Amino acid sequence: MSFKPIKIVSMGQYLPVQKVDSASLEKELGLEEGWILKTNGVRSRHYVNAQETGAYMGAQALQKALNRANMQFEDLDLLIDASGSFDFPIPHNACLIPRELGILNAGIPCWDVDSTCLGFVTALDMASYLLDGSRYSNVAIVNSEIASKSLNPKDPKSATLFVDAAIATIVSYCSTDEGKGVLAAGMETYSQGAHYTRVKGGGNALHPNTKTTFSDFTFAMEGKAVMRLGMQKILPFVEKLFSTVELEMSDIDCIIPHQASKMALDFAQKVFKWRSDQMVSILADYGNCISTSIPLALYTAIESGQLQRGDSCLLLGTAAGLSVGGLVFVY
Amino acid sequence: MSFKPIKIVSMGQYLPVQKVDSASLEKELGLEEGWILKTNGVRSRHYVNAQETGAYMGAQALQKALNRANMQFEDLDLLIDASGSFDFPIPHNACLIPRELGILNAGIPCWDVDSTCLGFVTALDMASYLLDGSRYSNVAIVNSEIASKSLNPKDPKSATLFVDAAIATIVSYCSTDEGKGVLAAGMETYSQGAHYTRVKGGGNALHPNTKTTFSDFTFAMEGKAVMRLGMQKILPFVEKLFSTVELEMSDIDCIIPHQASKMALDFAQKVFKWRSDQMVSILADYGNCISTSIPLALYTAIESGQLQRGDSCLLLGTAAGLSVGGLVFVY
């Protein structure tokens, strides 16, 4: 692909009010002290309360991003919701967000993209094609995930890993002279792993009005199979991704992997030889936030000053599908 | 927007085996003879059986489209599922489709777009930006909808309107000289109508593991409010859409409205002064197929010879959101 000049103008974060540390979750689930940190690498996480919906969290994050960019909602040309979880089967997520901001009549197009954990990468990749400075000058991407309602206490590995959080990102067209933009992006889907990560019930395959049980509506993950297939596919994928850019992995200033699990992060750091000054890891403090993990790690890197204007950055992850995906850009 | 040179290479259709005429549905629901045709304009429809899933239908339609294009699945650069309904909350729809075709290891990127009934228009619009003849030369769009599992017999108006069907469309990059492509496209979302059409339960707003009733998982529509807002917004939208092209509505060879309802089609034909040789209506034979309606009407127009190569075509519709959207292209 050719260079796509775009600029991440601002980001906004919303974390649910309720913070739950691993010690109290271990008590609740009857797990040994220290089991969660050892197994999943997670120290604490946020869970929504009864008032916090996906649209509410997404709207709060978007308002913060708009404030930082000194923009109004009406300055956007498009709102993409790129979450893997949803408030309602119908309508889709994006149209609920302006409503939460009290904006009922803006006419800004709102639609959803779903590639589960890779949602942000897919949406940013897509935005880089849409942003032409004419029809599209400013696009907002919202990732707002609620995993906590679909956790199964009988499956402590996933019940202590997945969490809730929202991030909004404003991406704008910019001139090629600025040097900011997408250098390369890609995604590969291997449907042999389509059922490795799933919530079985709630759609038409197992409709909620048919005979179901509690666990049908909760996350189920074949963790080892996901790791095996992900490891096998991500190495050639990364090689292909970098074959089209004039940078080596070691040149990248900031590397943002999906915060899938401790095992996945450890594996990736080792196999790709990421230096600790390159890699961003927020798993311990936030858990796996589905599609919000990558933009939340990006937000954290920007806030801490680890990612500076002009730096190169790699987003890289896996998703239910099973997909591998990544994007190299200049911030 | 500038002219986007793309070409609809082929389409494939899958209709569920089970065909249900309105007379038998009227008996089942205790409705007066002729009520459905009079109220909704639907004579017959297809409903899935226990074996037919969204992914199965989408895969069958895609295989037919691939056969017609003399292509293999591996010739695709991207598969977009643009359905409003889904088999599983996780994983998303698109990754299930190659699996249904027995293709487990292709690595073709698969992701979903959701704008409910406007899914095909959104995906075609997006494909016109992606298709660059380099990273993307051939994109498949799949619309596969199962509404029948979410119908509420106590709400006969929607229970006799929404149906099941799938269409796949292969869209390819072509040279500008061919003259085929997208002339204009747009979408506007008015979140005052976000809850006019909805399935309340099944997501995080009303999780299936909380206290729910049968009707929570069925379609509910404030039909009059949808009509009122849709009518108010679609007129200025169409004016704006046509302001950027050198064609008048009366010049368009083939007009494909969303097959929303008899009332919506009658209103649109009257207010836009569509000639009957321009407008495509398949509502009577198929019902409202959610996002499949527009591509199914397009497929029907191509099959019947109503839409010929080189003809201009308008896709136009409304969607839950509430959104209005449209696209003008040369076939």
Cα→Cα distances A161→A31, A58, A85, B124, B265, Å? 14, 21, 15, 37, 49
**pLDDT for the residue A1:** 76
pLDDT tens digits, residue range B140-182?
A: 999 999 999 999 999 999 999 999 999 999 999 999 999 999 9
Scanning A240-299 for CB atoms below 8 A from B yields: none
Residue B244 distance to chain A (closest CA, Å): 11
pLDDT tens digits, residue range A291-320?
A: 999 999 999 999 999 999 999 999 999 999
pLDDT(B64) > 90: yes
**Which of B85, B116, B182, B209 is the best mutation test for A, with the most CBs of A within 10 A?**
B209
- Dist. CA B240–CA B328, nearest whole Å: 12
Q: Which superfamily is assigned to A181-330 in CATH?
A: Thiolase/Chalcone synthase (3.40.47.10)
pLDDT(A277) > 90: yes
Does B115 sit within 8 Å of A113, measured CB to CB?
A: no
Scanning A20-79 for CB atoms below 8 A from B yields: 48, 53-54, 79
Q: What is the pTM of this model?
A: 0.98
Specify the CATH class of A6-177 in words: alpha beta
Residue A67 distance to chain B (closest CA, Å): 21
pLDDT(A331) > 90: yes
- Dist. CA B294–CA B120, nearest whole Å: 7
B85 contacts chain A (CB < 8 A): yes
Residue A286 distance to chain B (closest CA, Å): 20
Does B84 sit within 8 Å of A135, measured CB to CB?
A: no
Could you please report the per-residue DSSP string of B57-121? HHHHHHHHHHHHHT--GGG-SEEEE--SS-S-SBS-STTHHHHHTT--S----EEEEE-GGGHHH
Residue A71 distance to chain B (closest CA, Å): 19
Pairs across A and B, CB distance < 8 A: 261
pLDDT(A255) > 80: yes
Among the partner-chain residues A90, A118, A323, the one whose CB lies closest to the CB of B199 is A90
CA angle B183, A140, A89 (to 5 degrees): 85
**pLDDT for the residue A42:** 97
Residue B145 in contact with residue B166, Cβ under 8 Å?
A: yes
pLDDT(B2) > 90: no
Which residues of chain A are in CATH 3.40.47.10 domains?
6-177, 181-330
Identify the band that residue B14 occupies on the pLDDT scale cut at 50, 70 and 90: very high
Identify the band that residue A2 occupies on the pLDDT scale cut at 50, 70 and 90: confident
| Tokens representing residue A65 in the block | 């991003």
Mean pLDDT computed over A224-245: 95
Residue A96 distance to chain B (closest CA, Å): 6
Residue B223: enclosing H or E segment and its boundaries?
helix B223-242
- At B26, give phi and psi (nearest 5°): -60, -45
Scanning A203-232 for CB atoms below 8 A from B yields: 203-209, 212, 214, 216-219
Mean pLDDT computed over A246-254: 96
User: What proportion of chain A, given as a percentage, has pLDDT over 90?
Assistant: 98
Hunting for tokens 């698109």 — which residue is that? B94
Could you please report the per-residue DSSP string of B242-287? HTTSS--GGG-SEEEE----HHHHHHHHHHHT--TTTB---HHHH-
pLDDT tens digits, residue range B210-227?
A: 999 999 999 999 989 999
Instruction: Please give the mean pLDDT across all residues of chain A.
Output: 96
pLDDT tens digits, residue range A27-61?
A: 999 999 999 999 999 999 999 999 999 999 999 99
Interface predicted TM-score (ipTM) over 0.95: yes
- At A290, give phi and psi (nearest 5°): 55, -125
**pLDDT for the residue A299:** 98
pLDDT(B1) > 90: no
Mean pLDDT computed over B275-289: 96
- Dist. CA B205–CA A86, nearest whole Å: 8
| Tokens representing residue B60 in the block | 């069958």
B176 contacts chain A (CB < 8 A): no
Among the partner-chain residues B88, B106, B194, the one whose CB lies closest to the CB of A95 is B194
Mean pLDDT computed over A203-217: 95
- HSE at residue B101, side-chain half, CA atoms within 13 A, is 22
Identity (one letter) of the amino acid at B65?
Answer: A
Does B108 sit within 8 Å of A113, measured CB to CB?
A: no
- Dist. CA B153–CA B41, nearest whole Å: 18
Does B126 sit within 8 Å of A126, measured CB to CB?
A: yes
Which positions in chain A touch B158 (Cβ < 8 Å)? none
| Tokens representing residue B292 in the block | 């499949």
Identify the band that residue B122 occupies on the pLDDT scale cut at 50, 70 and 90: very high
Residue A207 distance to chain B (closest CA, Å): 7
**pLDDT for the residue A132:** 95
Does B1 sit within 8 Å of A135, measured CB to CB?
A: yes
